[in-house]
């Protein structure tokens, strides 16, 4: 058997010792993504793209349930579209990439940073009467935001993949109802699929999407104490509609502007999965998005090889017939130990070991990736046990992350307390006035920004930034 250098294959940095070096090492060595020849861009490898595909498989039926139809809009947006909605143009101008080579009489084209303008333009052609409403579309697409800040694999890259939903309604009430409904769907998605808990709420004035009346966000807390915005849903009001002359004839036979919302999640979710669940041995795939849920590793000896392989193949087809995705690693050029390391690095949820001694007892051993716990299981019971262990693993990963989030969320009553808690890498709830200038001042003093204003929490005391009346309790944290 060829000897490979196991040390250099494995993760060399500890998660709790140097998170910022640990993270890219896991991403690259677990073959989730690779650096690209273009600065700030990334190559998404099959192991991670599979996670994104599971997100799509989960979310497409959700879209259908809400009567949202998939479609596709051009990657390029005429410059003049950006100037129709002044706030939107200002908000996105620093990070728009422009197409330079053009004929003199052509206007510049933006590479889409988001698609509100070009979709509003189409809505103006498609919408006639109240009967056409609500009109709901979504696209799975790439977007480009020409970051000048430091980029980070999956979390902040110049190009990324996302879905963006765009819906218009006859009334503000229906529009706002769906702004919340889609946020609720995102929270369910990250919990049920990715085993990640979040806090949700409204964005502050300073952090509201450019051109929106209000924005909702879900925020995760990563193990290094930085918050990660994982999804947003915006009530865009009527601004874009008026700017693009989108109108409908109502039941009253008068012309009206519809109400508009947009919402999205991106491949940033993959980064959240890695940061939240991976460990010192590498990736840990949450069972419901794992490209392979179980890997069978036969323990082979010359005299029993055929019998053991036969039993493994039988187990493989049995697991597959119960909808568990499984891989039989029957390579003979690697030792079982080498294979164990490789599959641990890649984060496959269950490893099933089967050797001649196990076979004689009518058993195999199932090892969970997250706990390393070995469970002897009767061969007649493999699929039941595997299913149970996958469910338990999902539940345990979620609860572990939930305890972390709850244990690292605190309240502060003064600037001193806020500064202290931010240094301790906490998510901190404070009474806040909501003013952009005050938020700037707090950022200067703590290096923390607002994350969101949770629902149903009444402000206590005065704003700890400026001493004026607090309008809300607001989460502050350092962020990615
Ligand atoms: Zn204030």
Q: What is the pLDDT of residues 355-375, one digit of tens each?
A: 999 999 999 999 999 999 999
Spacing, Cα 75 to ligand 1 middle (Å): 40
Spacing, Cα 449 to ligand 1 middle (Å): 13
Spacing, Cα 464 to ligand 1 middle (Å): 6
192 close to 75: Cβ distance less than 8 angstroms: no
Report the chain's mean pLDDT, rounded to a whole number: 95
Assigned fold of 409-477? Translation Initiation Factor IF3 (3.30.110)
List helix spans (H) across 66-171.
79-84, 86-92, 116-126
Spacing, Cα 150 to ligand 1 middle (Å): 29
CA distances to 114, 134, 172 from 175, rounded to whole Å, are: 19, 9, 5
Spacing, Cα 233 to ligand 1 middle (Å): 25
For position 2, what pLDDT does the model report?
42
Spacing, Cα 471 to ligand 1 middle (Å): 9
For position 87, what pLDDT does the model report?
85
Residues 101-104: contacts with CB under 8 Å, at least 24 apart:
none
Tokens 């861009």, residue located: 41
- pLDDT tens digits, residue range 226-271? 999 999 999 999 999 999 999 999 999 999 999 999 999 999 999 9
CATH of the structural domain 12-277, one choice from 3.40.50.2000, 3.30.930.10, 3.90.1300.10, 3.20.20.70: 3.30.930.10
Spacing, Cα 85 to ligand 1 middle (Å): 29
Spacing, Cα 432 to ligand 1 middle (Å): 5
For position 240, what pLDDT does the model report?
96
Q: Around 280, how many Cα atoms within 13 Å sit in the side-chain half-sphere?
A: 10
- pLDDT tens digits, residue range 32-41? 999 999 999 9
For position 91, what pLDDT does the model report?
85
Of 202, 161, 180, the residue nearest 66 (C-alpha): 180
Spacing, Cα 294 to ligand 1 middle (Å): 52
310 close to 278: Cβ distance less than 8 angstroms: no
For position 101, what pLDDT does the model report?
67
Domain boundaries, the chain: 12-277, 294-389, 409-477
Which residues have a beta carbon within 5 Å of ligand 1, which is an ion?
433, 438, 463, 465-466
**Domain 294-389 carries which CATH code?**
3.40.50.800
pLDDT at 1 over 50: no
Spacing, Cα 422 to ligand 1 middle (Å): 18
pLDDT at 452 over 60: yes
334 close to 343: Cβ distance less than 8 angstroms: no
Spacing, Cα 418 to ligand 1 middle (Å): 13
């Amino acid at each position: 058997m060829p000897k490979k250098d196991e040390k250099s294959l494995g993760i060399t940095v500890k998660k709790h010792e140097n998170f910022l070096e640990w993270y890219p090492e896991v991403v690259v060595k677990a073959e989730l993504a690779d650096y690209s020849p273009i600065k700030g861009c990334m190559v998404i490898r099959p192991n991670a793209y599979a996670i994104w595909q599971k997100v799509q498989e989960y979310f497409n039926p959700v879209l259908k349930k809400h009567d949202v139809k998939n479609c596709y809009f051009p990657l390029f947006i005429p410059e003049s579209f950006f100037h129709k909605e002044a706030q939107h143009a200002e908000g996105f101008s620093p990070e728009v990439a422009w197409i330079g080579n053009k004929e003199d009489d052509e206007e510049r084209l933006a590479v889409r940073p988001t698609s509100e303008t070009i979709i509003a333009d189409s809505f103006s052609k498609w919408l006639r009467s109240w009967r056409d409403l609500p009109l709901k579309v979504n696209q799975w697409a790439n977007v480009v935001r020409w970051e000048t800040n430091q980029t980070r694999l999956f979390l902040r890259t110049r190009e990324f993949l996302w879905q963006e939903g765009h819906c218009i309604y006859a009334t503000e009430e229906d529009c706002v109802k769906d702004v919340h409904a889609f946020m609720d769907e995102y929270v369910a998605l990250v919990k049920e699929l990715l085993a990640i808990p979040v806090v949700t709420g409204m964005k502050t004035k300073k952090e509201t999407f450019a051109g929106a009346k209000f924005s909702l966000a879900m925020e995760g807390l990563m193990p290094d104490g930085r918050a990660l915005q994982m999804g947003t849903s915006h009530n865009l009001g009527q601004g874009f509609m008026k700017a693009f002359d989108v109108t409908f004839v109502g039941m009253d036979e008068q012309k009206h502007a519809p109400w508009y919302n947009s919402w999205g999640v991106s491949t940033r979710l993959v980064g959240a999965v890695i940061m939240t669940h991976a460990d010192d041995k590498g990736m840990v795939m949450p069972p419901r998005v794992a490209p392979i849920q179980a890997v069978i590793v036969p323990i082979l000896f010359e005299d029993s090889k055929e019998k053991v392989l036969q039993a493994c193949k039988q187990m493989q087809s049995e697991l597959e017939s119960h909808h568990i995705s499984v891989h039989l690693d029957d390579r003979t050029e690697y030792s079982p130990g080498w294979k164990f390391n490789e599959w641990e690095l890649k984060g496959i949820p269950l490893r099933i070991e089967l050797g001649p001694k196990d076979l004689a007892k009518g058993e195999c051993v199932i090892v969970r990736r997250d706990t390393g716990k070995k469970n002897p299981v009767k061969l007649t019971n493999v699929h039941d046990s595997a299913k149970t262990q996958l469910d338990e693993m999902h539940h345990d990963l979620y609860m572990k992350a939930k305890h972390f989030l709850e244990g690292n969320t605190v309240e502060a009553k003064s600037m001193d307390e806020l500064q202290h808690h931010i240094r301790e890498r906490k998510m901190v709830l404070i009474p806040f006035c909501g003013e952009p200038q005050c938020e700037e001042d707090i950022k200067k003093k703590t290096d923390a920004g607002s994350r969101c204003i949770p629902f149903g929490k009444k402000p206590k005391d005065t704003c700890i930034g400026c001493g004026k009346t607090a309008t809300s309790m607001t989460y502050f944290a350092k962020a990615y």
